[in-house]
Every structure is written in structure tokens, then in C-alpha cells.
Amino acid sequence: MSSTQIFLTLTALLTGAGSANAFSIRTTASDARPVTSLSMSAALIVQNKGGGHGELGFQLAKNLSSNPKITSITILQDSACKDSKEPFCSYATDLPNVRVVKADLADESMTAEDVQTLLGEGEAYEYVWDNASKGAEGTAGKAIIDSAKNWNSKLLTYVSSAGIYKPNGVFPMPETTPVKDSAGQVLYEKYATENGLPFVSFRPQYIYGEKSNKWDYIDWYFDRLVRGEPLPIPGDGSQKVSLTNSEDVASLLASVLNDEAAAVEQTYFNCGTDQLLSYDEVAALCAAAAGISDYKIEHYDGSLGKAKFPFRLTDFYVSPDMAKEKLGWEGPKHSLENDLPWYYESYKTRGCLNKEMEFAEDKEVLSATV
């Protein structure tokens, strides 16, 4: 049957504070499956409005579409996303069998009952991936956790962040690295585990992808290379970084389905490529992709600050070894070196070559180094 698109608008009057909140629902489906009767192997992906994690829901939905355990997929999409931007503008064409429901995921008053109303009375999801919540309070995070509990979900998989770690000198940072107890992601993990859910949390680092809406990390290198500006890199440039293609991150998130019991038993997984690069090596790869042989790296004292440098001043990287061991993750299918040619073409397509730029902060740290 040819693709059909159904656009619904639901206005839900929420209890508490006597206020009314309007939720816009957009449902996309390419079959005759009633949107109010999902199968018992239904997957729900809760997707944020954009940023570093902005492409993950899209790539995860693509990955799950070929997984035999999953027979239907719904994306609960933050309505603050820009529909004209990637990856959101590709939902209809690239995810024809995926249902998309929009809601204000920044709404602090949202409850599990509200989530149920949005998705349809009687709907339940065995597998939930939350790629939106920054904590259990102040957003829809608590409502998502409570919903997963009400549905008796087999797995609630959370996309956290390696940024919660407090490095203690051990690299790559293992999953036992101390965390910032006050971080929203840590509080989310705590609430989920305290409620006895079958819970798994992934902690990714720097992500890039063809349908990304955050390009800052690698653009920093190209911005200077194409303008003949020096690259001010803190320290000696040997610090390592994990830059992971969003498709590889999605495959990591989906790997919980390989061994659900092992995933829940371990609970916490680092999330990133095992192809680590130094800051200087990233510069060399970017220069090669842009066809630039004459470029200059200037190292400076990290005590002067980051300026506009996109990464940490010191080593700060993780390894996916635990996911390989416990979940049978096969490893990344992408490498930054192989991806940089298309990335550089995207850089040009986005008009970055002609963008006016100033490098005042670069010059400040470099002049202080002389």
C-alpha cells in the first residue's frame, strides 16, 4: 500500500494548576496498521529537539526497522524541533513506517497520564529509548520513566552523557568512573533504578553524522584550515578524543536487544568508537580532506583556557569494550578518516566557506603564549 500521512491535532486539558496544554500529533505510517493498536513488540523513541543528540532518534529508528524483535516504531518528538532542518525533515521520506507524535517535552507538568493520552489510550511499549530527557525533574523525564513502568516495558534505555564523569586519571574512562551526583542524567538514572525498571544507560561523547544539526566540533578545524588561520590546540596535541558517527551510536543503542538480561545486569555502558584520535591527528585528517598541505598547528598552555577549542583541555575519552563484551556489539562501521570527504562537502554546502569569521579568542591565547 502506498504511503499515507495522517495529521492529527489533539488538545489535552491537563489536571493540576488548572492549566491547559495543547499537544500537536503528527502520525506517519505506510501500512494499514491502526495507529491505536501497536503490537506487543512496539518500540518508543523519545527524541529531543536537536543538538549533539539530535540525529540519534532518526538513526535508531532506521536501525530498529530491520530488527526482527521490533514490529512497530513510534517517535515521541519534542515539538521544539525545526521541521525544516535535518534530520526532522527526513522523517516522512526516510522513515515511512514510523509513527511520529509531537509533544512539548520541556513541559515540567507532564505526567505519565499525559504521555498515555498523547500516544493513545491502551498503547504500550515493550522497548523504550529516551534520547531527550536531561533529568528526572524539570522536563518530561519522570513521565517517561513512569510510563515505562506502567507499560511493564522489557527495557528502558537511556541516552545519558559521558560528560557526567569526573575523570580520575584512568583512560579510557571505565563505566566505574566517578560521576557528578548533581548532574540531571545521574538523577534520571537514579530515579529509574530506584523504581525497579529494567534499565540501561549509555554514555556517549562527541557525535557527528550526515543529518546532524550540530557541527561545531569538526567545523572548528575546517573554519581555520580553509582561511589559512593557525589551529590553536591546547597542550601538546596528543590528547585523545572519541568522535563517533551517529549510525554507530545508534547501533550501540540497539545492541541492548542482543542480550537484554546482560544489558540490565551491567546497566551502564560507555558509548563511542574505539578508533581514538589525538587532537593533532584530527587536524591532519581534516587538512587532507580539504586538500590543504600547508597548515599550522600552534600549541599553547592550556591554563590560558579553551578559547573556542571544541574539546577538553586534557584527555577525556571512553571505550566501547563493555558493550562489545556484554552485548556482542561488533564495533563501528565508520571511521572519521573515511567520513571526512563527505563531511567537507557538507561544510561547503552549508555555506561555511564564505561565512565571515573572527578569531579574536584564538589570537588572544596565542599572543599570550609567545
Q: Is the pLDDT of residue 5 over 70?
A: no
Burial 332-357 (b: 16+ CB within 10 A, else e): bebebeebbeebbebbeeeebeeeee
Phi, psi of 42 (to 5 degrees): -75, 145
Q: What is the pLDDT of residue 248?
A: 98
pLDDT tier for residue 139 given thresholds of 50, 70 and 90? confident
Task: Collect all residues with Cβ–Cβ distance below 8 Å to 47 and sequence separation of at least 6.
Answer: 56, 57, 58, 75, 76, 77, 78, 81, 131, 132
Per-residue pLDDT tens digits for 15-25: 333 333 434 44
Handedness of CA 362, 363, 368, 370 (dihedral sign): positive
Q: What is the pLDDT of residue 369?
A: 81
Burial of 366 (0-12, 13-18, 19+ CB in 10 A): middle
Between strands 127-131 and 199-204, the pairing is unpaired
Q: What is the pLDDT of residue 27?
A: 46
Per-residue pLDDT tens digits for 112-135: 999 999 999 999 999 999 999 999
Per-residue pLDDT tens digits for 216-266: 999 999 999 999 999 999 999 999 999 999 999 999 999 999 999 999 999
Question: CB-side exposure of 150: number of CA atoms within 13 Å?
Answer: 16
Average pLDDT across the chain, whole number: 90
Phi, psi of 233 (to 5 degrees): -115, 125
Percentage of the chain lying above the pLDDT 90 cut: 87
Q: Return d(Cα 246, Cα 148) in angstroms, integer.
A: 25
Per-residue pLDDT tens digits for 284-321: 999 999 999 999 999 999 999 999 999 999 999 999 99
Question: What is the mean predicted confidence (pLDDT) over 33-44?
Answer: 60
> In whole angstroms, how large is the CA radius of gyration of the chain?
22
Question: What is the mean predicted confidence (pLDDT) over 79-105?
Answer: 97
| Whole-structure pTM value | 0.90
In Å, what is the CA distance from 191 to each residue of 146, 163, 284? 10, 19, 44
